[in-house]
């Protein structure tokens, strides 16, 4: 999907289509995190610390349970 920035006062804005917002669960009330590596701009919904901790726990559990499988797949 190609987009152009829109001038808004002295700033530029990126208008996102409803379909994209719906697919990502972003609404007008969603707090967004914006970061860059100097080349790419990344926009992600700000998630709660609880959600991040649950994901980290699930990943650790999967690593403990399937470490051997992951190693074999990596070869």
What is the mean predicted confidence (pLDDT) over 39-66? 87
Q: Is residue 17 part of a domain?
A: yes
Q: Where are the beta strands (DSSP E) in 2-74?
A: 6-8, 11-13, 32-36, 41-45
User: pLDDT band at residue 22, thresholds of 50, 70 and 90?
Assistant: very high
User: What pLDDT, on the 0 to 100 scale, is given for residue 21?
Assistant: 92
Is this model's pTM higher than 0.85 or not? Answer: no
User: What pLDDT, on the 0 to 100 scale, is given for residue 71?
Assistant: 84
Q: Is the pLDDT of residue 34 over 90?
A: yes
Q: Is residue 1 part of a domain?
A: no
35, 50 contact by CB (below 8 A): no
Q: Is residue 44 part of a domain?
A: yes
Q: Is the pLDDT of residue 48 over 80?
A: no
45, 31 contact by CB (below 8 A): yes
Closest CA to 24 of 4, 1, 6, 56: 1
Q: Is residue 64 part of a domain?
A: yes
């Amino acid at each position: 999907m190609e987009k152009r920035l829109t001038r808004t006062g002295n700033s530029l804005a990126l208008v996102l289509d409803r379909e994209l917002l719906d697919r990502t669960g972003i609404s007008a009330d969603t707090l967004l995190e914006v970061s860059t590596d100097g080349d790419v701009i990344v926009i992600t919904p700000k998630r709660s610390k609880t959600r991040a901790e649950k994901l980290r726990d699930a990943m650790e559990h999967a690593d403990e349970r399937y470490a051997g499988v992951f190693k074999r797949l990596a070869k």
